[in-house]
Amino acid sequence: MRYKLAPGVHYCVVARKRVFLDLARDRYVLLNPQQQSDFEVLEATSGLAPDAGRGVVSLVDQGILELIDDENESSSLISPSATATTTATKSTARSNVSWTSSVIATGYLLAARASLRHLGLQRTICRLEATKEKSNANVANKASMSLICSSFDRAQTLINSHDTCLLRSIALMLRLSRNRIPAELVIGVALMPFVAHAWVQQGEYVLNDDPDFTRTFAPILRI
């Protein structure tokens, strides 16, 4: 029998532990010792498990793994979903922004909030991916990128400043994509205690966060 990750499931390795992000169910999953052991076997065999252990069976029950029915279908259990960030640097200096730019940023924040609330995480991420594909991103103009990032900084004073990092990062990504500025939404995790975080990055430049902070997280998803 051969297994693969279920649709919308991503994972990374943190301190030798496998951490999963299940977009469809908007949850993170940490493996128990039996699941961890059985999953490591699947990694080593590209998803092949002639005699599935209890750990594999439980991961199927939880919606993390799926059994591959087609013998010709390849397994996606080859490597973690995202590579680690080796370097990270603070983006260019912030610019002075007009109220108009701040109001536009506020609109994107409200739209991202509504999307997460009504569509859920997976559909919101899918829409973001579609927007990026359609944008035909150019090489970023630093002045334009700085202006957009500054407008989001200021927009936080206009609406609830306690919005999550994920919401803020999705909103910024949408704005950048629609202005054809290339960037990545990165979701990362850390253990002991478990913490998830999201930020926007362009190459080595972190656009909306402190790079010293983002380096403490292992990326689990890049969009």
**82 falls within a domain:** no
User: Are 57 and 95 part of one and the same domain?
Assistant: no
User: Are 59 and 100 part of one and the same domain?
Assistant: no
**208 falls within a domain:** yes
3-state secondary structure of 144: helix
User: Are 183 and 116 part of one and the same domain?
Assistant: yes
Angle formed by the axes of helices 120-135 and 99-118, to 10°?
A: 130
Burial 84-106 (b: 16+ CB within 10 A, else e): ebeebeebbeebebeeebbebbb
Tokens of 146: 């700085």
Amino acid at 68: I
Rounded to an integer, the average pLDDT of 201-216 is: 92
Is the pLDDT at 79 greater than 60? The verdict is no
Q: Identify the pLDDT of residue 138.
A: 66
User: Are 117 and 173 part of one and the same domain?
Assistant: yes
User: Are 62 and 10 part of one and the same domain?
Assistant: yes
User: Are 17 and 112 part of one and the same domain?
Assistant: no
Report how far residue 175's alpha carbon sits from residue 182's, in angstroms, rounded to the nearest whole number.
11
User: Are 104 and 186 part of one and the same domain?
Assistant: yes
User: Are 118 and 198 part of one and the same domain?
Assistant: yes
User: Are 101 and 191 part of one and the same domain?
Assistant: yes
Strands 218-222 and 205-206: unpaired
Confidence bin at 147 (pLDDT 50/70/90): confident
**62 falls within a domain:** yes
Q: Identify the pLDDT of residue 99.
A: 83
Q: Identify the pLDDT of residue 8.
A: 92
Domain limits for position 116: 89-222
**19 falls within a domain:** yes
User: Are 195 and 133 part of one and the same domain?
Assistant: yes
Note the pLDDT tens digit of each residue in 167-199. 999 999 999 998 888 899 999 999 989 999 999
User: Are 214 and 113 part of one and the same domain?
Assistant: yes
User: Are 63 and 100 part of one and the same domain?
Assistant: no
Write down the mean pLDDT value for the chain: 84
Confidence bin at 91 (pLDDT 50/70/90): low
Q: Identify the pLDDT of residue 145.
A: 83
Report how far residue 221's alpha carbon sits from residue 165's, in angstroms, rounded to the nearest whole number.
14
Structural domains counted in the chain? 2
pLDDT-above-90 percentage for the chain: 51
